[in-house]
A and B are shown apart, each in its own frame.
Chain A
Amino acid sequence: MSLLDSSLWEVIKASFSPEIWKDLVAPVGETLYMTVISSIIVLIFGIILGIFLTLTCPDGLLPLKAPYITAGWIINILRSLPQMVMIILMIPVARLIFGKSYGTNACIIAIAASCIPMYARIVESSLLEIGKGKIEAAKSIGSTNFQIITKVILPETLPGLIRGFTVAVITVISMTALAGMFGAGGIGDIAVRFGYQRFQHDRLFACVYILIILVQITQGIGNLISNKILRTRNLV
C-alpha cells in the first residue's frame, strides 16, 4: 500500500498487517545479527584503543608521543569518512577477507571500521574523566599501570563507558540500516527495496517501528544498567 493512492491512516493500518510482519522476521534477524556482532567488535576494539589513547597521552600513565599522535590521526581520518563512503571503501577489504563483497558479514567490517574509532573517542573521554587524585592514590599504594587500568580506571568509569557504548550501539543500528542499501540485508534492505523503490509505504512504516523499538530498548537497557551502578555506589 502506498501513500500515493491511499490515505495516511490506511497506510498506518496496513503497516500492522500480519503478512508484512511475517516478511520482516528474517530481516530483523539479520539486523540483530549485524548489530550484535558489530557491537561486540566495537566494544572490544574501542575499549582497547581508548585505553591506549588515555595511556599514551601526554598526561597519561605511559606518555608516548609518536604512537599517541599516530593513533589520533588514524582515528580522525576514519571518523571523517561518512558511513556510506566507509561501506563503499570497505568493499575490497570484505572481498579480501570473506571472498565476497556483499552480505551481512561484509558490512560488519564497514560498521566496525566506522564505529570503533567513534567508540574509542568516547572511551577516551570517559576514562579521562576519572579524578587525577584516584590515580595518584593508586600509585601511592604501589599499583602497576596495569593494575591502575584494570582495578581502578575501568571500574571507576564503568557507568560512563556503558552510556557511551549505548550511543555506539545506536549508531551501529543506524548503520546496519544504511548497509541494507549495499547488499547487507536486514531492515534497511526492506526499507529501500519496498519503501523507496516500490512505494510500499506500509512496509516502510513497519521498518520504522522496528528501528524505533530497537533504539528505545538499547537506550533503555543502557540507562538502566548505568543508573543501577550509580545507585549501588550511592553516587546519585
Chain B
Amino acid sequence: MSYLEIKNLQKKFIVHGEPLEVLKGIDLDVNQGEIYGIIGFSGAGKSTLARCINRLESSDAGSIMVGGVDILSLDKKALLQERRKIGMVFQNFNLFDSRTVYRNIAYPLEISDFPKDQIKERVLETAKLVGLSDKLDAYPGGLSGGQKQRVGIARALVNKPELLISDEATSALDPQTTIQILDLLKEINRKSGITILMITHELDAIRYSCNRMAVLEEGTIIEQGSVAGIFNNPKSRTGALFARVFEEFQNISLTEGAGI
C-alpha cells in the first residue's frame, strides 16, 4: 500500500530573471513502512523535492498525497496540523541552541495541543529511543555531530509522525557515526513502522538501509526500483556512475591509494 504518492510534481525557480526547472514532473510511490532511498548528485533537485512534500517549498504543478491527504490542497491551518505528522531531519541538524536537549525534543509538543502533563513522559520515552537519556540537560552546542543528529531525530519523532523525511541526515557525519544513525533509523522503522524517505548523495547509506530507491537526475526520476537491481544493472547514467564510483572505491587498496 502506498503511503506517499507523488504525481507529476513540477517546480520552477526564477534565477536571475530566467526560469530554472528544478523538478520536471516527479512520479514517486513510497509504500507504508518502508525506507525508500532517493539518490542524486548535488543540484539534482533532491532537497527541493523533500521540501515540497511538507510545503516548505511551493510547487507549480502535480499532486502529493501523504497517507491519503492531498498536501497541496490544504489551507494554512490544516497544513500546520499536517506538518506535525511529517517529521524532517536535516543535514545541519538545525537544532535550537537556546534550548537544552530536553526542550529541543519537547518543542513540537509545546507548540501543538499535546496535553502538557504528558510532555515529560513522551520526551523521556523518545530520548531513550534515540539513546540520549543522559544528555537531556546538555545544550546542543556541547554535543558531537552524532548526538546532535540524534536530537534532531528525536525532535522529528516526538509527535509520532507517520512519515520521516531525512534530507541528507548523515552527510555531515563521519562514517562510523553514519552507520550508528542509519542503524537508529532502521530500528525506529522496524519498531514503529514509520515510513522513511531517505534523501542522500551517499550510496552506502541507501545500500545499507533501503530496499527500494529512485535515482534523481536534473529534476527527473530516471530510474527506480529495488536497490540491488539498480546497483547490479543500472539503466541510467547517474545510476551507472554511482555504481562505478562505488566499485572503484572498493577496488582501491590502501597501498595504491597512498601512491596517488
Do A and B originate from a single complex? yes
Give the docked Cα–Cα distance between A218 and B198 (Å).
50
Encoded as 1 (CB less than 8 Å from any B CB) or 0, chain A from 131 to 160 comes to 101101111111110010001100110100
Q: Please tell me if the beta carbons of A142 and B84 are within 8 angstroms of each other in the complex.
A: yes
- Taking a contact as CB atoms under 8 Å apart, the answer to whether A142 and B108 are in contact is yes
CA–CA, A142 and B108, complex, Å? 8
- A142 contacts B141, C-beta separation under 8 Å: no
Interface residues of B in 60-91 (CB under 8 A from A): 80-84, 86-88, 90
A233 within 8 A of B: yes
Partner of B88, one of A140, A152, A158: A140
Which B residues are CB-close (under 8 A) to A133? 90, 92, 94
A234 is an interface residue with CB less than 8 A from chain B: yes
Partner of A136, one of B56, B87, B107: B56
A residues with CB within 8 A of B: 131, 133-134, 136-144, 147, 151-152, 155-156, 158, 232-235
Are B83 and A139 interface neighbours, CB within 8 A?
yes
Contact of B97 among A141, A143, A233 (CB under 8 A): A233
For the residues of B in contact with A, the DSSP-based class is: mixed
CB of A234 within 8 A of CB of B139, answer yes
The winner among A139, A140, A151, A233 for most chain B CB atoms within 10 A is A140
Choose one: A143, A147, A233; the contact of B98 (CB below 8 Å): A233
- Interface set, chain B 180-220, CB cutoff 8 A to A: none
A136: chain B residues at CB < 8 Å are 51, 56, 90, 94
Chain A residues near B125 (CB-CB < 8 A): none
Cross-interface CB contact of A235 among B84, B97, B111, cutoff 8 Å: B97
Q: Is the CB of A235 within 8 A of B141?
A: yes
**Is the beta-carbon distance between A156 and B98 smaller than 8 angstroms?**
yes
Contact A234:B98 (CB < 8 A) given known A133-B90, A140-B54, A140-B88: no
A234 with B141: CB separation less than 8 A: yes
Is B99 located at the chain interface by the 8 A CB criterion? yes
For the residues of A in contact with B, the DSSP-based class is helix
Instruction: For A151, list chain B residues within 8 Å (CB).
Output: 107, 110-111
A131 to B141, CA, bound (A): 14
Partner of B112, one of A142, A155, A234: A142
A sample of 19 cross-chain residue pairs with beta-carbon separation below 8 angstroms, ordered by A number, consists of A131-B92, A134-B94, A136-B51, A136-B56, A137-B155, A138-B96, A140-B54, A141-B83, A141-B84, A141-B156, A142-B82, A152-B96, A155-B96, A156-B96, A156-B97, A233-B98, A233-B139, A234-B138, A235-B141
Within 8 A of A (CB), among B99-129: 99, 107-108, 110-112
Q: How far is the CB of A130 from chain B (nearest CB, A)?
A: 10
Distance, CA A133 to CA B169, complexed state (A)? 13
Among candidates A142, A155, A156, A234, residue contacting B80 with C-beta atoms closer than 8 Å: A142
- B residues near A143, Cβ cutoff 8 Å: 80, 111
Distance between Cα atoms of A52 and B108 in the complex (Å): 25
Given contacts A151-B110, A233-B139, contact A141 B94 (CB under 8 A): no
User: Complex: how many Å from CA A232 to CA B139?
Assistant: 8
From A138, A139, A147, A233, give the contact of B141 (CB < 8 A).
A233
In the complex, the answer to whether B111 meets A234 with C-beta atoms within 8 Å is: no
State the CA gap A235–B140 with chains docked (Å): 9
Are A142 and B56 touching (Cβ within 8 A)? no
B24 to nearest A CB, angstroms? 24
Does A141 lie within 8 Å of B142, measured CB to CB? no
Q: How far is the CA of A221 from the CA of B94 in the complex (A)?
A: 30
Give the nearest-CB partner of A159 in chain B: B98
